[in-house]
Amino acid sequence: MTEMTDSGTLAPLPPGTGDPIRVLVVDDHALFRRGLEMVLEQEPDIDVVGEAEDGAEAVEKAAETTPDIVLMDVRMPKRGGIDACTAIKDAVPSSKIIMLTISDEEADLYDAIKAGAMGYLLKEISIEEVASAIRAVHGGQSLISPSMASKLLNEFASMIKRGDERQQVPAPRLTEREMEVLRLVAKGLNNRDIAKQLFISENTVKNHIRNILEKLQLHSRMEAVVYAVREKLLEIT
């Protein structure tokens, strides 16, 4: 979450030099979709490849367009954003999903993380900041709006307290290297930076992360960090 400034806004990130980031915009409000598209069309490194007005259409469009990033609301008719998130991750595993919503309910945040979302941003951020969020998540970062991040930290504390009050089930054993990778993931490093720090290849990092998720029976990097803090496998300072 290093892209967030102290004021709670997203610091500008420089446009990438590779292929444009392919983005699918999903929201049940046509004016909001159009506003997003108009802003994103001004960014030379971002290409809006489609739009959808509900979760059901989002799954279909994602399969057709294989976007790099899906910007999606949580609460929509026919099929909600969280359910669609799970389906899109199954259909297009390479797509990264950012929830952009008015919902500040903790339950929606936790469900979105479990479903594999890499970002959860409230629509209170300026529309111009969305491009920076897209670049950050495309680059491997996880982003949460500051107000929601504080709720997530409170949930960490609650989970740890509940864990102290019940008998612990032994956590799956991670190797020393897997623990190193998990700690760096928790610090917000992307695969490339983890590889540089541990002097290993990016493919090896990806393999470690896949093994971690399989052992913990989880679906996303962010959920693995939540689990690890809850089970006291690591501490975030």
DSSP calls for 44-96 = TTEEEEEEESSHHHHHHHHHHH--SEEEE-SS-SSS-HHHHHHHHHHH-TT-E
Name the pLDDT band for 204 (thresholds 50, 70, 90): very high
Name the pLDDT band for 223 (thresholds 50, 70, 90): confident
**What's the rounded mean pLDDT across residues 173-193?**
86
Q: How far is CA 121 from CA 30, 60, 172, 174, in A?
A: 19, 23, 32, 31
Name the pLDDT band for 157 (thresholds 50, 70, 90): low
pLDDT of residue 108: 84
Alpha helices in the chain (DSSP H): 30-40, 55-65, 81-91, 106-115, 130-138, 146-165, 176-186, 191-198, 202-216, 221-230
Burial class of residue 168 in the structure, from the number of CB atoms within 10 Å of its CB (0-12 exposed, 13-18 middle, 19+ buried):
exposed
Name the pLDDT band for 234 (thresholds 50, 70, 90): low
Residue type, 92: V
Name the pLDDT band for 8 (thresholds 50, 70, 90): very low
pLDDT of residue 158: 64
Which of these, 152, 211, 153, lies nearest to 179 by C-alpha position?
A: 211
Percent of the chain surpassing pLDDT 90: 39
Name the pLDDT band for 189 (thresholds 50, 70, 90): confident
With beta carbons less than 8 A apart as the criterion, state whether 115 and 82 touch. yes
With beta carbons less than 8 A apart as the criterion, state whether 98 and 70 touch. yes
Name the pLDDT band for 190 (thresholds 50, 70, 90): confident
- Residue 168 above 60 pLDDT? no
202-225 b/e (C-beta count within 10 Å ≥ 16 → b): eebbeebbeebbeebebebbbbbb
Q: What structural domains and CATH numbers belong to the chain?
A: 21-147 (3.40.50.2300), 167-230 (1.10.10.10)
Q: Nearest-5° angle of CA 84, CA 77, CA 24?
A: 45
pLDDT of residue 13: 47
Q: Is residue 129 helix, strand or coil?
A: helix
Dihedral pair phi/psi, residue 3, rounded to 5°: -80, -15
pLDDT of residue 4: 43
pLDDT of residue 137: 92
Q: Are strands 96-101 and 143-144 parallel, antiparallel or unpaired?
A: unpaired
- What is the C-alpha separation between 4 and 49, in angstroms, rounded? 27
Residue type, 13: L
Averaged pLDDT of the chain: 82
**What's the rounded mean pLDDT across residues 96-104?**
89
**What's the rounded mean pLDDT across residues 134-140?**
91
Name the pLDDT band for 235 (thresholds 50, 70, 90): low
**Tokens read off for 185:** 């993931």
| Tens digit of each residue's pLDDT (9 = 90 or more) over 33-62 | 998 899 999 999 999 999 999 999 999 999
* Comparison of pLDDT for 20 and 164, the residue scoring more: 20
Q: Is residue 119 helix, strand or coil?
A: strand
Global pTM? 0.61
pLDDT of residue 104: 81
* Comparison of pLDDT for 71 and 236, the residue scoring more: 71
